[in-house]
Structure formats: C-alpha cells, structure tokens
C-alpha cells in the first residue's frame, strides 16, 4: 500500500537530473529495484544553488509526499519538500555517465559497477539464487555443512591448488635433502585452499544422510576463459543411500527449482536482462543469436534432460558431420577422449537441443572417488551440460567399497596415508552414496544471460587479476 498522506524520507544515489524553469526532476535509485523514483523539486521551494551539486552519482536524502505521477514511465513520484546532499560527486571525475558503458570498462570499475542497471540486476538475482539454494535444500530435509576452506588434501586429485603458508618466500626453511621443510610451516605440513568441499561433505552425509555445502572454492588452473574463475562458489549436495539415478533426479530437480525461483522472484530484473541480451546480440546473424532469455529458462523447465552414457555421446560425436568435416578443434577419434567444451555444446545445442546428462565416463579421465562400474573401464560419473555453458554440474556415485577405493587411490597416486580419515568411513558402516557440485557462477551465467563469468560475481579472481 502506498502512503499518500504522510511525508516520507528517501535516500539513494542520483541517476539523472533534468530540469525546466520552475521544476527539476531527479531520478533516484537505492538499489532495491531497477526502477528509479522520480523526485519532483519545485524551484520556488528549493533553491537552485542547493540542487546544483546533485549530479549523477551524488547521494541525497529527500522528504516529501508521494503523489500519483502525471508523467509516463512511473505511477508515483515524490513531491519534494526538503532535500539534502549527503555526498557530492564530481561529474568531471565520475566514471559512470548516464550512458551505456561496455562490460569490459565496467570490470575495471568493479567498485562502482553495482550502481549500473545491469549489475544491480545481476546482484539481486545472485542473492535470490543463493536464498533459493538454501530453501530448496532446507525444504527437503538437507543440512548445510561448512566444509573447511584451508585443507591439506586435494579433493579432485588434479593438483590445481593455491598454497597457504606463513613461511617467508625469500627465506624458505629446507630439509636435509634440500626440500622445503613444511614441518616449520603454520600447520606443520603443506596446506592449500580447497578445490571442493566434497570429501568433508561425504563424512557428514555418512551420519546426517542428506547434506550440502555452499562455499567458496579455489582453482589455480590457468584457464582464461569466459567460464572459469580462480575463486568460485560451489553447491555440493551429498546423500547417503543415493545411487547415480537418484543423483541425476536431484540435480535436475534442483536446477529446475532454481530457475523457477528466479522467474517467480526476479521478473523485473529478468525482463531487463532479456532486453540487454537482445540489444547485445542485435548485430549477430539469426542462427548465432541465443534464445530469448525468459523463453530459454521456461524451455529448460518444460523439458526433461536427455540422459545418455559417455559411450553413446562419443558415437554421436564421432559420426557427426561436424566431426567428419573437421569442425572440432579437437576431433573425436576414439573412445576415451576427454570431452572439450565444444563437444559438450555440440551435444546440447546442435544435437539434442536441450540439457544433457552424460554418465559413465572412462575412469582414466575422472576422479579417484567415483564408483567403479562392473565393466572395469568406466565410473559412475555424471556431468550435466547446459546450452551456452557446457558443464554446469559434475558429480558421481561414490566408491563405497574399501578395497576398490584403496586400490584406485594407489593407482592414481593419491596419498593414501594422509587421507586415512576418508578411507575409514568405508570401514565403519559404509553405504552407497552420491553427490555433485554445481558451479554457482555457471548457473548465474545461464539465468542472467550474461556472456562472461567475470560479470556474474562481484569481484572476479582470474589469472593476473586480483584488483578490488
Ligand atoms: O566437476 P568439478 O570439478 O566437480 C567437483 O569438484 C566435485 N568434487 C563435485 C562433487 O561431486 N561434489 O566441479 C563442479 C562444478 C563444475 O561442473 C562447474 O560448474 C564448476 O564446478 N567449476 C567452475 N566454475 C567456475 N570456474 C572454475 N574454474 C570451475 N571449475 C569447476
Ligand atoms: Mg567436472
């Protein structure tokens, strides 16, 4: 209900100011919505000299009565009775002019880009999705677990970790063999930032049954792409007694729930982002344009994800005209090849034209903890592939049999001794279990229609980029 009878106070930042002889109009925004509030300032009541400093970017506080608006573009406006400048903003220095700035330019102004329509919309959506994640799991009886950020183990076994140390790099203590003596380091051993909370989530699931983590994860892979960050947020559910089929159902339910959550709670912001995308792609050829954002989100809700095995996917890829004509940068020749993002996107965007869940990958290209299939050459892995994104989720059923896990760890040179705690869960009441990791920023890319992962996290961390 709007209060038209009592004076109200509003505070925010000036987006634009324009005026005529007797009256000035200020578009004010406080970040709560895309919509600005129009302040109508009667120049007979308020001196022009006071208004003179209220440039774009300045912060102000105004009192007045809300009145139905005669102008188009808003239903109400504020008839100002008093107005105060809180923080001035020098128009000659302020980088955000009331015009369109490129996303690249705004990345360099990440301290201010929250004030643009695009980033305020992305920020509000990001919040809604975080909230939606917790609601989804809470409503289904999952417990949130905080997995550690500093760890001594490499959950993925890929060796792409940032080291954490208090040793002085210019004077590293050495052992007799000339190696760095981590015994003298803070933890008495070498430690890293975590690449995944999975292993700890497994420990919790083997007692609490249904758990999830939602935390920052760090990867020191030197991938300068529009899909990779060095610091990103991952949602990792882990469920005791689930097999890979339950795991696929959970992943599909969760993604659909979150997309529906965005449609239900962020309609204005999605509409704005849809127009932004349309504008951005206006010069692209028809067959290169992406589907309109809101239709794309609804399309995912209305269709079941295609579920096929890695082996079937390789057949499709190998026999595709795309492959035969040499259009893949990495041609598919034989079973066993790791899939690149171009292959994933071919399956999703060209072949099935909907999200795809790929299962049962060769064990050589997947992590040590995945449940081994009877064929001796594949594991019960599952990757969820999305249009425009490629891999959005990676997960698996876990190897719950002690001997098989132990052997696989040895084969893959995973340090068995230091991971005694992980192995022990397979000795004390082990059960089948499964889980997966959803890259939160990849989901944000999909939902917002933004093209670069640096634009869906406030302060991206990428190779050679750690400003702000
Ligand atoms: O496939 P990944 O490496 O799987 C894991 O980490 C498992 N421990 C998850 C689990 O089973 N609990 O990563 C999971 C997801 C990917 O599908 C992708 O969406 C995202 O994390 N991801 C990244 N997102 C942004 N930047 C990066 N560098 C990413 N690496 C992975
Ligand atoms: Mg993966």
For the segment 93-118, the average pLDDT, to the nearest whole number, is 95
pLDDT of residue 3: 79
Handedness of CA 196, 200, 203, 208 (dihedral sign): negative
Q: How far is the CA of 201 from the centre of ligand 1 (A)?
A: 15
- Report the distance separating Cα 452 and Cα 458, nearest Å: 12
The C-alpha angle 200, 203, 206, rounded to 5 degrees, equals 150
Closest CA to ligand 1's atom 26: 228
Give residue 4's pLDDT: 82
Query: What's the rounded mean pLDDT across residues 410-435?
Result: 96
pLDDT confidence tier of residue 159, bands split at 50, 70 and 90: confident
- Cα 90 to Cα 10, 28, 96, 97, 455: the distances in Å are 22, 17, 11, 11, 26
Does residue 456's CB lie within 6 angstroms of at least one atom of ligand 1? no
Confidence of residue 289 (pLDDT cuts 50, 70, 90): confident
Q: Is 219 in the pocket of ligand 1 (CB under 6 A)?
A: yes
Contact indicator for 166, 185 with CB cutoff of 8 Å: yes
Average pLDDT, integer, range 146-170: 91
Residue 429 has pLDDT above 70, yes or no: yes
Residue ranges of domains in the chain, CATH in brackets: 8-99 (2.40.50.140), 115-160+195-455 (3.30.930.10)
The three-class DSSP label of residue 146 is coil
What pLDDT, on the 0 to 100 scale, is given for residue 72?
A: 81
Helix (H), strand (E) counts: the chain: 13, 16
Q: How far is the CA of 219 from the centre of ligand 2 (A)?
A: 12
Q: What angle do CA 340, 344, 347 make, to 5 degrees?
A: 140
Quick: pLDDT tens for 171-213: 999 999 999 999 999 999 999 999 999 999 999 999 999 999 9
Residue 67 pLDDT level (bands cut at 50, 70, 90): very high
Locate 293 and state its tokens.
């954002």
- Residue 207 has a pLDDT of 98
**With pLDDT > 90 as the criterion, what percentage of the chain qualifies?**
91
The pLDDT of 360-365, averaged and rounded, is 97
Task: Starting from the CA of residue 250, give the closest ligand.
Answer: 1
Q: How far is the CA of 294 from the centre of ligand 2 (A)?
A: 27
Residue 137's contacts (CB-CB under 8 Å, 6 or more residues apart) are 144, 210, 212, 237
- Statement: residue 309 has pLDDT above 80: yes
pLDDT of residue 2 exceeding 80: no
Task: Report yes or no: 361 and 378 within 8 Å, Cβ to Cβ.
Answer: yes
Question: Average pLDDT, whole number, for the chain?
Answer: 95
Whether the CB-CB separation of 435 and 247 falls below 8 Å is answered with yes
Whether residue 228 is predicted with pLDDT greater than 90 in this model: the reply is yes
- Say yes or no to pLDDT of 78 above 70: yes
pLDDT at 359 over 70: yes
* 376 has a pLDDT exceeding 80: yes
Whether ligand 1 lies within 6 angstroms of the CB of 145 is answered as no
Confidence of residue 1 (pLDDT cuts 50, 70, 90): low
Structure token digits, residue 295: 């239709």
Please state the φ and ψ torsions of residue 176, each to the nearest 5 degrees.
-60, -30
By the 8 A CB rule, do 355 and 300 touch? yes
DSSP 104: H
Atom of ligand 1 nearest to the CA of 384: 17
pLDDT band for 86, please (50, 70, 90 cuts): very high
CA 132 – CA 252 distance, rounded (Å): 15
Please state the pTM of the whole predicted model: 0.96
Does 154 sit in the ligand 1 pocket, CB within 6 Å? no
Report CA(234)–ligand 1 centroid distance (Å): 7
For a ligand 1 pocket test, name from 211, 232, 457 the mutation site with the most ligand atoms within 8 angstroms of its C-beta.
232
Query: CA separation (Å) from 318 to 325, 332, 342, 453?
Result: 11, 5, 13, 30
What percent of the chain shows pLDDT beyond 70? Answer: 100
Whether pLDDT at 288 is above 90 = no
Nearest atom, ligand 1, residue 389 CA = 19
Confidence of residue 98 (pLDDT cuts 50, 70, 90): confident
What does the pLDDT read at residue 222?
87
Contacts of 400 (CB under 8 A, 6+ apart): 371, 426, 430, 431, 432, 433
Which pLDDT score is estimated for 74? 85
């Amino acid at each position: 209900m709007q209060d038209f009878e009592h004076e109200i106070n509003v505070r925010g930042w000036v987006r634009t100011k324009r005026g005529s002889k007797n009256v000035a109009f200020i578009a004010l925004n406080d970040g709560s919505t895309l919509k600005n509030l129009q302040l109508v300032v009667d120049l007979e009541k308020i001196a022009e000299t006071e208004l003179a400093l209220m440039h774009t970017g300045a912060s102000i506080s105004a009192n007045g009565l809300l009145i139905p608006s005669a102008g188009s573009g808003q239903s109400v406006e504020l008839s100002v009775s008093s107005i105060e400048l809180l923080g001035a903003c020098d128009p000659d220095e302020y980088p955000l002019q009331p015009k369109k700035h490129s996303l690249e330019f705004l990345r360099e102004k990440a301290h201010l880009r929250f004030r643009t329509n695009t980033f305020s919309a992305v920020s509000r959506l990001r919040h809604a999705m975080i909230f939606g994640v917790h609601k989804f799991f809470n409503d289904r009886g999952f417990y949130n677990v905080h997995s550690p950020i500093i760890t001594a183990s490499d959950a993925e076994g890929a060796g792409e970790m940032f080291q954490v140390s208090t040793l002085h790099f210019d004077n590293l203590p050495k052992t007799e063999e000339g190696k760095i003596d981590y015994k003298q380091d803070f933890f008495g051993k070498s430690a890293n930032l975590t690449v995944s909370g999975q292993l700890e989530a497994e420990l919790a699931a083997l007692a609490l049954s249904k758990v999830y983590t939602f935390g920052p994860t760090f990867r020191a892979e030197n991938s300068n792409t529009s899909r990779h960050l060095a610091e990103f947020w991952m949602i990792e559910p882990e469920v005791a007694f689930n097999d890979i089929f339950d795991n696929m159902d959970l992943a599909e339910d969760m993604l659909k729930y979150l997309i529906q959550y965005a449609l239900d709670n962020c309609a204005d912001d999605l509409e704005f982002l849809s127009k932004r995308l349309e504008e951005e792609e206006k010069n692209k050829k028809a067959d290169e344009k992406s589907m309109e954002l809101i239709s794309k989100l609804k399309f995912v809700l209305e269709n079941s994800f295609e579920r096929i095995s890695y082996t079937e996917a390789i057949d499709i890829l190998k026999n595709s005209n795309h492959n035969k004509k040499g259009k893949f940068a990495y041609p598919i020749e034989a079973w066993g090849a790791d899939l690149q993002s171009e292959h994933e996107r071919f399956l999703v965007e060209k072949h099935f034209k909907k999200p795809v869940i790929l299962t049962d990958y060769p064990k050589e290209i997947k992590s040590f903890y995945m449940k081994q299939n009877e064929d001796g050459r594949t594991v019960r892995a599952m990757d969820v592939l999305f249009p425009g994104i490629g891999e959005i989720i990676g997960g698996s059923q876990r190897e719950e049999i002690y001997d098989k896990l132990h052997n696989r760890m040895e084969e893959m040179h995973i340090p068995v001794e230091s991971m005694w705690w992980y192995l022990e869960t397979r000795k004390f009441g082990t059960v089948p279990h499964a889980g997966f990791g959803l890259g939160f920023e990849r989901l944000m890319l999909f939902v917002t229609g933004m093209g670069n992962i640096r634009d869906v996290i406030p302060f991206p961390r990428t190779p050679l980029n750690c400003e702000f």
